[in-house]
Chain A
Amino acid sequence: MSRLAAALQDLRALDSLALRETALARRDPRAKLAVTLCFIVTVLSFGRYQVAALLPLALFPAVLSAQAQVPGRVLRRTLWLASPFALMVGLANPWFDRTPMLALGGIELGAGWVSFGSILLRVTLTVSATVVLLGSTGMHALCVGLSRLGVPRVFTAQLLFLQRYVHVLAEEALRISTAHRLRAAPGRRLPLSLYASLMGQLLLRAFDRAARVHQAMLARGFDGELRIVEDWRWQRADTLFVGLWCGYFALARAVDLPLALGRLITNVWA
């Protein structure tokens, strides 16, 4: 399946996930956004050589993906696609940072491997949190939350329009791409001149579509201001949600929980 087709499928899948009635979908989008950002900042605030101390934070995406009923394969697929750049740069760490840090059995592990492990863990945690945020919130609710938080209406309107029309244009691009592939010699890529006319046609159609959409909006009484339907009210459950999770993040940051747990267990044994 081509990149475009796969991307379209992912878009639809995540969109439809958010429409379901789950416990997490009822939370105010501002609360979810705030907690997710707090989570990401907490994860990134750890030192570069800390790996085990990050593990308790995995509770957040685990619990939330269960509450939001995000399928494991969606999570796995996004993780697989996520941040090849971060991993490539991270792989340089074992090469450049060779001061020995750990000794496991007879093997000495350089500090670069430890920091690479930390980067892997960071990628996993931040990506899962993002997927869960979207899977439980949806674009419309997110835009409502953003505009309530003071984000300019121009930007939130743009996000909504983009999300609405990306399906339309991506499908057209897919049709163009498939049509070319069916008519071209196998393995032959799109040459630049042909790309210009094919994508140029898509661009022209985008302009014309935009003009038609504008006419349709005017015909329905558009007066220049986009009003977004808002039906979320901040509840006590939202305050509890934010308070509990941020408290947990602060605890996990302040106290090395795995170390404490390990010490407790070894003390009990000994």
Chain B
Amino acid sequence: MHMADALLSPGTGVLMWVASCAVMSVAARRVQQRADDRMMPLMGMLGAFVFAAQMVNFSIPGTGSSGHLGGGLLLAILLGPHAAFVVVASVLTVQALFFADGGLLALGANMFNLGVLPCYLAYPLVYRPLAGRSPGPRRAAFATLLAAVLALQLGALAVVLQTVASGISSLPASAFLGLMLPIHLAIGVVEGLATAALVGFLRRARPELLDISASGMAADRRQLLLPLTLAAALTGGVLSWFASTQPDGLEWSVARVAGTALPAAPSQELHAALDGVQQRLAWLPDYALAAAAAPEPAQEHAAPAAWPEVNAVTTVAGLVGGAATFALVMLIGLFLRRRRARH
């Protein structure tokens, strides 16, 4: 569903615009670098196709209702992620301008939800690995269905987060999620079916047309950098809010056995010394600010913390942790590569 201006605050809207503009500049540059001037009219035509196809409904097998194609995943399969994002963004712009579907400020959010998520997360991380180079019809259909469902679930989650962050609607996050996620599961299945049907038709009729995306995307591991970075940022920065506030298996077991949530302070010298070092080094202890993370005695009937625990410090902890892990892995990789080169 398209996000609307009326539910957005300027801060959230501008933030989503900045994110979408950043992705757009990358996507536009990659399309330009391809230096294939067939792409220009093809992108326009396929955008027009998606626009028109969105208005034609088909009946969903098994139920009495009808659905229509979204198009983000189809475009990614046909054109590759960068060109697909540009096309989706243009279709959304025309919809916002001519049909007031969404709004000008919400356009940034819509480009992110309906463009970045299918093209840069669902397609490279789900469809490509599952489908491979030239999949059979069953495998392709399965990959498409899974990718579409994931893309729409992520999109629904994004809409809920943007609405809650804006604060204009009084709908609580849990109720909103409970409504949006199941509905978009159904929509995702519909999208997957429609996309799989169209791609299957194309594969039977003119399989060479499906190679346009393949020719644009060389088997380059760097292609995964943007999607994986995005996935890591989303998981560390946003999905961490949804972490369970209940104690994990080990903490629960310790509490049952020892009677307290945390074990007693270490008595041995080495253990105490190492513990002291860790306390000094940890500047985000327990993924929170030091003042707030003072250990509390285990309470039997403690009131459950608010869920999702929307907390800027958790986001910072998640992002910093992710970045630090990445830097460490890069350093180790560089070190190993230099060692191998020397021998």
Alpha-carbon distance A58/B38, docked complex (angstroms): 46
* Surface stretch bound by B, among A81-89, A229-237, A243-251: A81-89
Q: Is B104 touching A86 in the complex (CB atoms < 8 A)? A: no
Q: Is B28 touching A155 in the complex (CB atoms < 8 A)? A: yes
Alpha-carbon distance A204/B208, docked complex (angstroms): 12
Chain B residues lying within 8 Å of A196, measured Cβ to Cβ, are: 197-198, 200-201
Q: Of all chain A residues, which has the CB nearest B42?
A: A210
Can you give 21 contacting A-B residue pairs, CB < 8 Å? A36-B104, A37-B104, A37-B105, A44-B5, A44-B6, A48-B168, A81-B99, A85-B4, A96-B170, A115-B170, A130-B103, A131-B100, A154-B28, A157-B40, A169-B48, A190-B56, A192-B61, A196-B201, A199-B53, A210-B38, A224-B35
Asked whether B25 is an interface residue with its Cβ less than 8 Å from the other chain, the reply is yes
Asked whether A10 is an interface residue with its Cβ less than 8 Å from the other chain, the reply is yes
Q: Which of B42, B52, B94 contacts A4 (CB 8 A)?
A: B52
Alpha-carbon distance A165/B50, docked complex (angstroms): 11
Asked whether B235 is an interface residue with its Cβ less than 8 Å from the other chain, the reply is no
Q: Is B47 touching A162 in the complex (CB atoms < 8 A)? A: yes
State the total of A-B contacts with C-beta under 8 angstroms. Answer: 266
How many residues of chain B get a CB closer than 8 Å to chain A's CBs? Answer: 80
Q: Smallest distance from the beta carbon of A126 to chain B beta carbons, Å? A: 4
Of the candidates B5, B9, B167, the one having the most CB atoms from chain A within 10 angstroms of its own CB is B5
Binary flags per residue of B29-56, CB closer than 8 Å to A gives 1, else 0: 1011001011011111111110111011
Chain A residues lying within 8 Å of B86, measured Cβ to Cβ, are: 154-155, 158
Chain A residues lying within 8 Å of B25, measured Cβ to Cβ, are: 152
Q: Is A92 touching B169 in the complex (CB atoms < 8 A)? A: yes
Q: Smallest distance from the beta carbon of A55 to chain B beta carbons, Å? A: 16
Chain A residues lying within 8 Å of B198, measured Cβ to Cβ, are: 196, 199-200, 203
Chain B residues lying within 8 Å of A118, measured Cβ to Cβ, are: 168
Q: Smallest distance from the beta carbon of A191 to chain B beta carbons, Å? A: 6
Q: Is B163 touching A44 in the complex (CB atoms < 8 A)? A: no
Q: Smallest distance from the beta carbon of B9 to chain A beta carbons, Å? A: 6
Taking beta carbons and an 8 Å cutoff, which residues of A are in contact with B?
Answer: 2-4, 7, 10-11, 14, 36-37, 40-41, 43-45, 48, 78-79, 81-83, 85-86, 89-90, 92-93, 96-97, 112, 115, 118-120, 122-123, 126-127, 129-131, 133-134, 139, 142, 152-155, 157-166, 168-170, 172-173, 176-177, 189-197, 199-200, 202-204, 206-207, 209-211, 213-214, 217, 222, 224, 226
Chain B residues lying within 8 Å of A165, measured Cβ to Cβ, are: 44-45, 47-48
Q: Is B171 touching A92 in the complex (CB atoms < 8 A)? A: yes
Alpha-carbon distance A14/B97, docked complex (angstroms): 10
Chain B residues lying within 8 Å of A176, measured Cβ to Cβ, are: 56
Q: Smallest distance from the beta carbon of A215 to chain B beta carbons, Å? A: 9
Chain A residues lying within 8 Å of B169, measured Cβ to Cβ, are: 89-90, 92-93, 115, 119
Q: Is A200 touching B201 in the complex (CB atoms < 8 A)? A: yes
Q: Is A161 touching B43 in the complex (CB atoms < 8 A)? A: yes
Asked whether A200 and B202 contact (CB < 8 A) given A130-B96, A162-B51, the answer is yes
Q: Smallest distance from the beta carbon of A160 to chain B beta carbons, Å? A: 8
Q: Is B45 touching A213 in the complex (CB atoms < 8 A)? A: yes
Chain A residues lying within 8 Å of B32, measured Cβ to Cβ, are: 152, 154
Alpha-carbon distance A97/B169, docked complex (angstroms): 9
Q: Is A126 touching B6 in the complex (CB atoms < 8 A)? A: yes
Asked whether B172 is an interface residue with its Cβ less than 8 Å from the other chain, the reply is yes
Q: Smallest distance from the beta carbon of A207 to chain B beta carbons, Å? A: 6
Q: Is B41 touching A213 in the complex (CB atoms < 8 A)? A: yes
Alpha-carbon distance A72/B233, docked complex (angstroms): 46
Q: Is B6 touching A86 in the complex (CB atoms < 8 A)? A: yes
Asked whether A211 and B5 contact (CB < 8 A) given A173-B55, A191-B58, the answer is no
Alpha-carbon distance A7/B103, docked complex (angstroms): 17
Binary flags per residue of B63-103, CB closer than 8 Å to A gives 1, else 0: 00010010000000000000000110111011011111111
Q: Which 7 A-B pairs have the closest CB atoms?
A: A161-B44, A200-B201, A86-B4, A152-B28, A196-B197, A189-B59, A195-B58
Of the candidates A36, A112, A127, A210, the one having the most CB atoms from chain B within 10 angstroms of its own CB is A210
Asked whether B60 is an interface residue with its Cβ less than 8 Å from the other chain, the reply is yes
18 more CB-based (< 8 A) A-B contacts, given A85-B1, A170-B51, A192-B58: A3-B55, A44-B10, A78-B99, A79-B100, A83-B103, A92-B170, A123-B5, A130-B97, A152-B28, A158-B40, A162-B91, A165-B48, A168-B48, A189-B58, A190-B56, A192-B194, A199-B53, A211-B38
